[in-house]
Structure 1
Amino acid sequence: MTAIILDPSPVAASFRDEVRQDVDRFRAEGRTLRVVGLLGQDEGPAATYARFARRGFDDVGIEFDLRHVVPEEAERAVATANVDPDVDGIFLYYPLTDRRGDRWLRELVDPRKDIEGMHSFWSRLLYENERFVDADRTQRAILPCTPLAILKLLDRAGMRGTRENAPLEGVTACVINRSEVVGRPLAAMLANDGARVHSLDIAGAVTYEPAIGRHTHEVRTSGIDRAAALADADVVISAVPSRDFELIRGDEIRAGAICVDVAEFTNFDESAKERAGVFVPRVGPLTVAMAARNLTRLARLTGR
């Protein structure tokens, strides 16, 4: 068996069509949507990502103003974009400072302009499984764009639950990465939809028990090791940003599993494609589309 390779670009194109229609409606109302991107590097993954983002935003009619900043100017650059009435969204390209400083910068972004969905205002809603921001449940909460892109790709790959209480009830997932940007929110989103998620990183393993019979998921220390977590998983998502990561081999995963490679450096051995049912080699194009969709939702929410 050889895996079906799921290219994210056509999936992203379908969402860009949706965003383009929203952008056209704003334009008919006399509004041009504008994103400010803050970048601290001229080369490397962040700069490449920013170039892809520019193409994605241009394609749907969103203005993209990329500003190069040095670490000591990053806070002021965020503050300036926050108060600028002509700026509808802010996108940070990490690293801008160091890990601690970048976490602080995420908190400085006005949640009403946070198209990445990384501010604690949005994170709290995610981890508490609150899907709307208003009592009438008409305005959806913003979700982090990379985990959201992964979920959209998993849905396109055919990830489905086998029971009736939740859309992903009966699905077991393994997420290798527990960062605040990708791994942790992704595990929570999967578990909130009913999946059991084994979450692994260099510090060990925890398991996210599904939000079935309770309002939100539950996290417990499980001690499950890599071999057991991979063998148990219907879905494997890996996002380890290091060449030193021990690649996931075909003999480690369940036959027919859906595998998603999120990292800058591949996390999967070629043999995984011989055993997986569907293999997703990258996520980036859809991440940009989800950020653009978040922008249109925030612009409608705030009414600016």
Structure 2
Amino acid sequence: MASTGASSTNCKVILANTIAKKLLSEVQEGLSKLQGPPLLVGFLASSDPAARVYADWTGKTCRENGFAFELREVPKDAMEDALLAANADPSVHGIIVYYPIFSSRQDQYLQQIVSISKDVEGLSHRYIFNMYQNIRFLDPGTDTKKSILPCTPLAVIKILEHLHVYNTILPYGNRLFGHTVTVINRSEVVGRPLAALLANDGACVYSVDVEGVQQFHRGQGLKKSRHEVEEKPGWTLENCLPVSDVVISGVPGEKFKVPVELLREGAVCINFSSEKNFTPEVKEKASIYVPAIGKVTIVVLLRNLLRMVQNRADTDATPADAIDKPGTIEEKPSA
């Protein structure tokens, strides 16, 4: 007989390492079919210690898992030329840039000059456009080359798939139909892309930040091909959390805590902040709790790199031809 009240013993804590191992085995299988290890080049021009830690972590993970990695430390003013040179270098299979560099729109410009055939973070315009438009392939009609998605939002999706929140009985693209999700964070880097991806997969998503709440959805009965956004004036977490079966939080401040008393009984809770957004009491309400996702994110980065190599295998275009032109939106990437 099921218990009528939740207790910490009824909450399953899932560590990122468990999920990362499964993903890594898939990556290793794909890697074994290549002639040599793909080379990922990281570009570091920042004195930010967090950027240095991430660069070191990337290199360590690459080398431990059969990928080549090279860190290039470049002065800020030389970054543009360095990226263009890497675009044109056939020995470079993927590029990752450790931001911030200028902490301004110039960083956005640098994101756009990385060749889409080497942009493992999925930050170039074509990939972002595809993600929001729910265009999943780079070759619509043929559907052999999946578009690249940003690593952290994709890591959250892979976690939800692992937890079987995605319903595989439903058609691909609709597998979150019936789920209500709250995402606490609406940054352009993680929160908003994540809300869009989840809504494009069929969920009703409440996107929450300090400015208020927005609802991302594909309409009643998923009649729309991609998500739309609706403002929810006056809404707060008090409106969102009690109706959400999945709660995902990534507030980068140690003072913020998700109000556990508002959580729906048995909710799935995922923390993607470097801070602990959930207090230990979350285990008294949640059915599943994932306290961190970093190790999944880094494996997703390797997965993206592998996919880029696979996408380029039968493509005649040179990396220079594939550079996404800033300000254009003719080409569409995927979600």
Between stretches 41-50 and 85-94, larger displacement belongs to 41-50
Residues 99 and 248 of structure 1, relative CA distance in 2, 3 Å threshold: farther
Residues 199 and 36 of structure 1, relative CA distance in 2, 3 Å threshold: same
> Could you tell me how far apart the structure 2 residues matched to 1:248 and 1:59 are?
36
> Could you tell me how far apart the structure 1 residues matched to 2:271 and 2:45 are?
25
Instruction: Please state whether the residue corresponding to 1:26 is helix, strand or coil.
Output: coil
Residue 233 of structure 1 pairs with residue 233 of structure 2: no
**How far apart are residue 104 of structure 1 and its match?**
2.0
Residues 69 and 252 of structure 1, relative CA distance in 2, 3 Å threshold: farther
Picking from 109, 114, 117, the partner of 1:109 is 114
Once the two structures are superposed, the pairs formed by residues 72-151 of structure 1 within 5 Å of their partners are: 72-134=77-139, 135-151=141-157
Deviations 1:233-285 (A, max 9, x none): 111111112234x2113212111111111111221122222211111111111
Residue 192 of structure 1 pairs with residue 200 of structure 2: yes
Residue 172 of structure 1 pairs with residue 212 of structure 2: no
**How far apart are residue 99 of structure 1 and its match?**
4.2
> Could you tell me how far apart the structure 2 residues matched to 1:164 and 1:26 are?
33
**How far apart are residue 150 of structure 1 and its match?**
0.5
**How far apart are residue 155 of structure 1 and its match?**
1.9
Between stretches 138-147 and 17-26, larger displacement belongs to 17-26
- Calculate the aligned-residue CA RMSD, in Å: 2.0
> Could you tell me how far apart the structure 2 residues matched to 1:183 and 1:61 are?
31
Larger helix share, 1 or 2 = 1
Do the aligned partners of 1:162 and 1:169 also contact (CA within 8 Å) in 2? no
Residues 194 and 163 of structure 1, relative CA distance in 2, 3 Å threshold: farther
TM-score norm. by structure 1 comes to: 0.92
Picking from 269, 272, 286, the partner of 2:282 is 272
**How far apart are residue 74 of structure 1 and its match?**
2.5
Do the aligned partners of 1:231 and 1:254 also contact (CA within 8 Å) in 2? yes
> Could you tell me how far apart the structure 2 residues matched to 1:218 and 1:55 are?
40
Residues 73 and 183 of structure 1, relative CA distance in 2, 3 Å threshold: same
Residues 241 and 100 of structure 1, relative CA distance in 2, 3 Å threshold: farther
Instruction: Please state whether the residue corresponding to 1:121 is helix, strand or coil.
Output: helix
**How far apart are residue 32 of structure 1 and its match?**
3.1
Between stretches 189-198 and 175-184, larger displacement belongs to 175-184
Q: Give 1:252's aligned residue.
A: 262
Deviations 1:96-117 (A, max 9, x none): 2204232222112111101111
> Could you tell me how far apart the structure 1 residues matched to 2:12 and 2:41 are?
37
Do the aligned partners of 1:88 and 1:299 also contact (CA within 8 Å) in 2? yes
> Could you tell me how far apart the structure 1 residues matched to 2:13 and 2:129 are?
35
Residues 296 and 256 of structure 1, relative CA distance in 2, 3 Å threshold: same
TM-score norm. by structure 2 comes to: 0.84
Do the aligned partners of 1:162 and 1:170 also contact (CA within 8 Å) in 2? no
Gaps of 5+ in 2: 1-6, 316-335
**How far apart are residue 295 of structure 1 and its match?**
1.1
Residue 157 of structure 1 pairs with residue 167 of structure 2: no
Instruction: Please state whether the residue corresponding to 2:206 is helix, strand or coil.
Output: strand
Q: Which has the higher contact order (CA 8 A, sep 6+)?
A: 2
Once the two structures are superposed, the pairs formed by residues 200-219 of structure 1 within 5 Å of their partners are: 200-210=208-218, 212-219=222-229
Between stretches 84-93 and 40-49, larger displacement belongs to 40-49
Residue 296 of structure 1 pairs with residue 323 of structure 2: no
One-letter amino acid matched to 2:264: R
Higher Rg of the two aligned structures: 2
> Could you tell me how far apart the structure 1 residues matched to 2:26 and 2:166 are?
24
> Could you tell me how far apart the structure 2 residues matched to 1:293 and 1:220 are?
33
